[in-house]
Amino acid sequence: MNQQLPQVPTKLLIDGKWLEGTKESVSVTNPATNEELVKVSQGGIDETKQAIDAAAKAFTDWSKRSPRERADLMNKIADLMEQESDRLAKIMSMEQGKPLKEAEAEIQSNVDNFRWNAAEAQRVYGEVIPAPEHNHWLVRKEAIGVVGAITPWNFPSNMIARKIAPAMAVGCTLVMKPSKETPLSALALGELFQQAGLPDGVVNIVLGDSSEIGKELTENEQVKKITFTGSTKVGMKLYEQAAPTLKKVSLELGGHAPFLVFADADLDLAAEKLVAAKFRNNGQVCTSPNRIFVEESVKDAFTKKLLAKMETVTVGNGLDNPTVGPLINQAGVEKVIEQLEDAVNKGAEVLCGGTKLTEGEYEKGNFFAPTVIDGITPDMTIYYEETFGPVIPLISFTDRQAVIAAANDTEFGLASYFFSTNLQTISDVAQNLQYGMVGVNDIAISNPAAPFGGVKHSGFGRENGKYGPEEYVTVKFIAIDAQ
């Protein structure tokens, strides 16, 4: 495929205008080659305040528009995203590294999110409470106000859509802060918002230092809601900063998903789903399986099937549509290397992969061989820390209750998976896994109709489904004496 980056804005979007920031521009690079794609403008506190002011001004009109009017604009945006899917996917693949087919699926997910929430805009119902004679008791749900949204690099387009769509649907306005690694996907969406006729100031996009911009978003009195997807450490910091102004906060943070394979499972299905889930986005997913517990009696058989599946996994430039592309940066590569070295030094055995790829087309990029490692024990870093890379760590178990306890023995609680054909096992395990989402004989735990989010240190609040818009409203009680 042509390696030329499609046309994309490189400035900040504030109050409907593309503006140069006051800070020095920074490079966006392709992780497959580490070559510069383009330089993008950078702002700071002043630009963030300007964006917040614009969002606050736009809120007055946007929040008063009818749900149908907002829905019509959102559907128009969805249509434009669908029409521009190829261009948006190529931009994403080049700045983030993921295979083109995954980028295309992400854009389709954006479309689905916008259409779902456009429909939900008309279903944010209030209530009428039975009241004494001559009285009327009403409950209204109203848009909370200006939203500060901070998104990560691993899903640089869909994480934005999942926050913007429900917020817009109920009448909120937003200031977006995308990741410094992948700002182009956000800017490309901003361009489509303008083409659709979205009023100035409804969505603003600021680029710059995350800590500086995040601090302004959390501390500014005009911002009424913070939504963040990213690391637990940063999420806790934002939560702390937002506390003095008592903002409503939603946090979708780190994960350390267990993947349990019981002896009665369909081993072929489990192996197939594991490879699909683990190597989606090269393992750089908060819901990625990180601890693979396999019942000892079927461990050898499962491992054999898994290694056969691994032979079909390809690595390359995302534009060439391999199974996996590069990791986002060299720091990501180093983390994988450190975890594997620690595990091997403590007795684990690498069954395939295990090395950084450096020859030929891999020479300049952040490539790592898809890896299976066996003999993982609780004292190894890879057992208790999220990898965010293409590594499948295998762990044996013999007892159901013990493996449930092991799966729950983490500070995180986002996603979990298990495979079994026994109804008693399915009922028991599904109820006792301490996670916000549980996949049973399946890995498809994210869709616009269903709530997405975690417990424990994986955060709180939910995206998607009827729960998504609820994160962006306040509840008002109105008591009327009609005498």
Please say if 36 is a catalytic residue.
no
User: CA-CA distance, 79 to 25, in Å (whole number)?
Assistant: 32
Q: How far is CA 43 from CA 11, 16, 50, 181, 366, in A?
A: 9, 16, 10, 15, 28
Please say if 104 is a catalytic residue.
no
What's phi and psi for 206, nearest 5 deg? -115, 140
Burial of 272 (0-12, 13-18, 19+ CB in 10 A): middle
What's phi and psi for 174, nearest 5 deg? -135, 155
Candidates 102, 106, 216, 286; catalytic one: 286
Torsion angle of the four alpha carbons 216, 219, 220, 221, in this order, in degrees rounded to the nearest 10: 170
Domains of the chain as residue ranges with CATH: 12-253+458-479 (3.40.605.10), 257-447 (3.40.309.10)
User: CA-CA distance, 230 to 454, in Å (whole number)?
Assistant: 13
The residue among 383, 424, 378 whose CA lies nearest residue 401 is 424
List % helix, strand, coil for the chain (3-state, nearest 5): 40, 25, 35
CB atoms within 10 A of CB 15: 17
Q: What is the 3-state secondary structure (H, E, C) of 178-189?
A: CCCCCHHHHHHH
pLDDT in tens, the chain (483 residues): 678 999 999 999 999 999 999 999 999 999 999 999 999 999 999 999 999 999 999 999 999 999 999 999 999 999 999 999 999 999 999 999 999 999 999 999 999 999 999 999 999 999 999 999 999 999 999 999 999 999 999 999 999 999 999 999 999 999 999 999 999 999 999 999 999 999 999 999 999 999 999 999 999 999 999 999 999 999 999 999 999 999 999 999 999 999 999 999 999 999 999 999 999 999 999 999 999 999 999 999 999 999 999 999 999 999 999 999 999 999 999 999 999 999 999 999 999 999 999 999 999 999 999 999 999 999 999 999 999 999 999 999 999 999 999 999 999 999 999 999 999 999 999 999 999 999 999 999 999 999 999 999 999 999 999 999 999 999 999 999 998
Q: For residue 403, give both structure tokens.
A: 């493996």
Candidates 181, 252, 463, 471; catalytic one: 252
Alpha carbon distance, N-terminus to C-terminus of the chain:
73
The three-class DSSP label of residue 281 is helix
What pLDDT, on a 0 to 100 scale, did the predictor assign at position 1?
66
Q: DSSP character for 368?
A: E
Instruction: Indicate the pairing of strand 173-177 with strand 146-150.
Output: parallel
